[in-house]
Amino acid sequence: MAGTSTPLQRSLAGSAARPGALDAFLLARRRFQAGERIDMQALAAELGVNRATVYRWVGSRELLLCEVVWSLTERTLRREPPAADGSGSRLAAVLSRFVTDTLAHRGMRRFLEEEGECALRLLTLSSGGFQPRLVGLVRELAAAETAAGRLASPIPLDDLAYTLVRVIESYVYLRTITGEEPDGTRAARVLQALLPGPADPGRSRPGRT
């Protein structure tokens, strides 16, 4: 994220001297994963500090939510890829699994159902800091797959990563956007079409540029 970092961000980067911000983050993540709403007053009470201290550590509830969701997102996307089933590239399988896992996650379900507009604003706009990191990670994964010969796309990597993230967002936040029930299989079909498997011998791979 641009600008001055918060104590939480410095703790996550391993550069903070005091553990308080990281304690707040870990507690918030546990509550999020349990499907509970992240309440700043409740966090402060459990940590034995006042609410102003928690805000000083993490910046705001929105920034804390972004860091919690990002930590879970990065962990999911960096997991061992699922076994190939012949229906697309390995990256298509990774991103399809990510959509399915996100929709099934207890904390994300509560967040989307009870705070859908907040989630959409925080996680899909560049100003929130989450989306640029997601685009960057997807680009990194696409570049690695292209270099390994497991992905052949005519779309430049920057455009490909942005498009893939927009596809993911469209299906994860489908209920908030259109009122329809989210369906990971629909996202998988689109991702498989955008991410073909290895190119035939001799076929160029312009996505590497």
What is the predicted pLDDT for the residue at 204? 41
Q: Is the pLDDT of residue 202 over 90?
A: no
End-to-end alpha carbon distance in the chain? 26
pLDDT tens, position by position, 70-95: 999 999 999 988 766 555 689 999 99
What is the predicted pLDDT for the residue at 52? 96
Whether residue 158 sits in one domain with residue 111: yes
Sign of CA pseudo-dihedral 110, 113, 114, 118 = positive
Residues in Cβ contact with 132 at an 8 Å cutoff, skipping those fewer than 6 apart: 126
**Residue 177 domain-assigned?**
yes
Whether residue 140 sits in one domain with residue 72: yes
**Residue 2 domain-assigned?**
no
**Residue 51 domain-assigned?**
yes
Closest listed residue to residue 165, CA positions, set 127, 195, 135, 121: 135
**Residue 147 domain-assigned?**
yes
Closest listed residue to residue 148, CA positions, set 197, 80, 78: 197
Question: What's the average model confidence in pLDDT over 148-157?
Answer: 90
Q: Is the pLDDT of residue 119 over 80?
A: yes
Pick 106 or 204 by higher pLDDT: 106
Q: Is the pLDDT of residue 67 over 90?
A: yes
Q: What angle do CA 107, 113, 116 make, to 5 degrees?
A: 100
**Residue 1 domain-assigned?**
no
Instruction: Give how many domains the chain has, as a whole number.
Output: 2
Whether residue 179 sits in one domain with residue 99: yes
**Residue 97 domain-assigned?**
yes
Whether residue 201 sits in one domain with residue 120: yes
**Residue 31 domain-assigned?**
yes
Whether residue 179 sits in one domain with residue 83: yes
Q: Which amino acid is at 72?
A: L
Whether residue 158 sits in one domain with residue 85: yes
CATH number at 178 reads 1.10.357
**Residue 196 binned pLDDT confidence (cut-offs 50, 70, 90):** confident
Question: What's the average model confidence in pLDDT over 100-105?
Answer: 96
Whether residue 151 sits in one domain with residue 90: yes
Rounded distance, CA 86 to CA 183, Å? 21
Whether residue 74 sits in one domain with residue 55: no
Give the domain range for residue 107. Answer: 68-208
Whether residue 164 sits in one domain with residue 124: yes
**Residue 18 domain-assigned?**
yes
Whether residue 124 sits in one domain with residue 32: no
The domain boundary residue, chosen from 38, 59, 80 = 59
Whether residue 183 sits in one domain with residue 117: yes
Q: Which amino acid is at 113?
A: E
Whether residue 183 sits in one domain with residue 138: yes
